[in-house]
């Protein structure tokens, strides 16, 4: 199935303006007035300007931006914690913006769930009560809710902690409670607002791996907000880069690394350790008959190998390696020269 057929969430020209009377300045916003001019002339602030995105089902879609870029504002439109000034968000073809209060409540209970930067757990409830919170408020009976919550607790590796209170747990464990709470409602869409940003680097790494493992099993549609490009590249199938409420580039990690759309994106990309995010396949030179000239013991590397794992293969042998796809068919070659060029950016 192509992305076009499998669109789970369609963000259609969302605008958000903060101020006294946002509607009144929408014409100016559409005409492309700058953020500072609008503030000076009307006292209104642009949060999001005309953002459109297509997010495929089962994808981890990362929205990346620095603080003030509007990324947290944008994600809050997906479950209408913030009302857009203009535009629509369609989830499975249904416009979230047009829902009445009852429909919105049902949508939040069953379709979409959220993980928060500072965990936002209920400190007076145990881990078990926190995880079953979404089920409990939607009227599921306590025993069933607890049974289901226990499965999620064990899924995130917190067995034995179900009767602890959140303040008794470390940050990483608290966020796993947050994740279990979001998974418990079986929502197909998972919104994660800087979910790992408040954790220290080692724990953050663990959580990223755990999320990738879970996602490989559960195939949720994840919208993940972060200010960290390394994190975006690590977990994102697709990445959107946001600056000042405007979309700068949308693409896969490799696309963004190799073809940054503008100076702003390029500045980000420059600091990333390329060897950890680019695959051998993305830098391989196509083979056009040159393969025959290579010795038989030329090392072979899978195309989805990260560059840093390919160093050894290139260091041994004649210096050239053959890149193969998953069926071991040759798709190209890499040399230390191409590798160094890719690392230099």
Partner 1 sequence: MAENFPELIDTRALRIGIDDGFNWVVANYGEALEIAFLPVLRMLTETERFLQWLPWYVVLLALCALTFVTTRSWKAAVGVAAMLFLIGLTGMWDAAMATIALMLISTLLAVILGIPIGIAMSRSDTLQAISLPVLDIMQTMPIFVYLIPFVMLFGPGKIPALLATIVFAIPPVIRLTNLGIRQVDAEVIEAVTAFGATPRQRLFTAQIPLALPTIMAGVNQTTMMALSMVVIASMIGAGGLGYQVLQGIQRLEVSRGLLAGLGIVFLAIIFDRIAQAYGRRSQQHLNLGD
Is 35 an interacting residue with respect to partner 1 (CB under 8 A)?
A: no
Q: What is the nearest approach in angstroms of partner 1 to the Cβ of residue 158?
A: 17
Angle subtended at Cα 50 by Cα 49 and Cα 53, rounded to the nearest 5 degrees? 120
Q: What is the nearest approach in angstroms of partner 1 to the Cβ of residue 341?
A: 46
| Other beta carbons within 10 Å of 335 | 14
The nearer residue to partner 1, 66 or 137, going by C-beta atoms, is 137
The nearer residue to partner 1, 188 or 303, going by C-beta atoms, is 188
Is 94 an interacting residue with respect to partner 1 (CB under 8 A)?
A: no
Is 25 an interacting residue with respect to partner 1 (CB under 8 A)?
A: no
Q: What is the nearest approach in angstroms of partner 1 to the Cβ of residue 205?
A: 23
Query: Which residues partner with 63 through β-bridges?
Result: 225, 240
Name residues contacting partner 1, limited to 171-200 (CB under 8 A): 181, 185, 191
The nearer residue to partner 1, 166 or 332, going by C-beta atoms, is 166
Name residues contacting partner 1, limited to 115-154 (CB under 8 A): 116-118, 120-124, 133-134, 137-138
Is 108 an interacting residue with respect to partner 1 (CB under 8 A)?
A: yes
Is 107 an interacting residue with respect to partner 1 (CB under 8 A)?
A: yes
The nearer residue to partner 1, 178 or 310, going by C-beta atoms, is 178
Q: What is the nearest approach in angstroms of partner 1 to the Cβ of residue 72?
A: 11
Is 79 an interacting residue with respect to partner 1 (CB under 8 A)?
A: yes
DSSP classification of residue 84: -
Q: Which residues of 66-76 are buried (b: 16+ CB within 10 A; e: fewer)?
A: eeebbbbbbbb
Instruction: Return all residues near 124 (Cβ < 8 A) that are at least 6 apart.
Output: 165
Structure tokens given for 17: 């303006």
Q: Check: CB of residue 310 under 8 Å from CB of residue 280.
A: yes
The nearer residue to partner 1, 118 or 144, going by C-beta atoms, is 118
DSSP reduced 3-state for 282? helix
Is 168 an interacting residue with respect to partner 1 (CB under 8 A)?
A: yes
Q: What is the nearest approach in angstroms of partner 1 to the Cβ of residue 329?
A: 47
DSSP 27-44: HHHHTT--HHHHHHHHS-
* Cα dihedral: 154, 201, 59, 251 (round 10): 180
Residue of 166, 239, 170 whose CA lies nearest to 207: 170
Site for partner 1, rule CB under 8 A: 79, 81, 105-110, 112-114, 116-118, 120-124, 133-134, 137-138, 165-168, 181, 185, 191
């Amino acid at each position: 199935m192509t992305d076009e057929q499998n669109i789970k969430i369609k963000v259609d020209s969302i605008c958000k303006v903060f101020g006294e009377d946002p509607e009144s300045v929408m014409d100016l916003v559409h005409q492309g007035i700058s953020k500072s001019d609008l503030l000076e002339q009307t006292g209104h602030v642009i949060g999001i300007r005309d953002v459109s995105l297509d997010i495929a089902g089962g994808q981890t879609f990362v929205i990346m931006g620095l603080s003030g870029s509007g990324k947290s504002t944008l994600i809050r439109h997906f479950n209408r914690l913030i009302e857009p000034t203009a535009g629509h968000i369609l989830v499975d073809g249904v416009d979230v913006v047009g829902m009445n209060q009852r429909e919105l409540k049902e949508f939040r209970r069953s379709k979409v769930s959220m993980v928060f930067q500072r965990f936002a757990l209920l400190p007076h409830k145990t881990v078990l009560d926190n995880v079953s919170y979404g089920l409990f408020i939607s009227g599921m009976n306590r025993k069933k809710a607890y049974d289901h919550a226990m499965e999620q607790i064990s899924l995130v590796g917190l067995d034995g902690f179900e009767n602890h209170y959140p303040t008794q747990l470390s940050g990483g464990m608290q966020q796993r409670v947050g994740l279990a709470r979001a998974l418990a409602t079986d929502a197909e869409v998972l919104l994660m607002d800087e979910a790992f940003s408040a954790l220290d680097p080692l724990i953050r790494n663990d959580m990223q791996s755990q999320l990738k493992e879970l996602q490989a099993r559960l195939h949720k549609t994840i919208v993940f907000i972060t200010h960290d490009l390394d994190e975006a590249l690590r977990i994102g199938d697709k990445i959107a880069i946001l600056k000042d409420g405007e979309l700068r580039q949308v693409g896969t990690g490799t696309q963004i690394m190799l073809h940054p759309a503008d100076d702003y994106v390029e500045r980000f990309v420059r600091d990333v350790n390329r060897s950890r995010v680019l695959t051998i396949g993305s830098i391989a030179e196509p083979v056009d008959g040159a393969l025959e000239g290579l010795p038989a013991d030329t090392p072979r590397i899978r195309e989805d190998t990260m560059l840093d794992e390919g160093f050894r293969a290139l260091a041994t042998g004649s210096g050239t390696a053959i890149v193969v796809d998953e069926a071991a068919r040759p798709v190209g070659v890499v040399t230390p020269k191409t590798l160094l060029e890719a690392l230099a950016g």
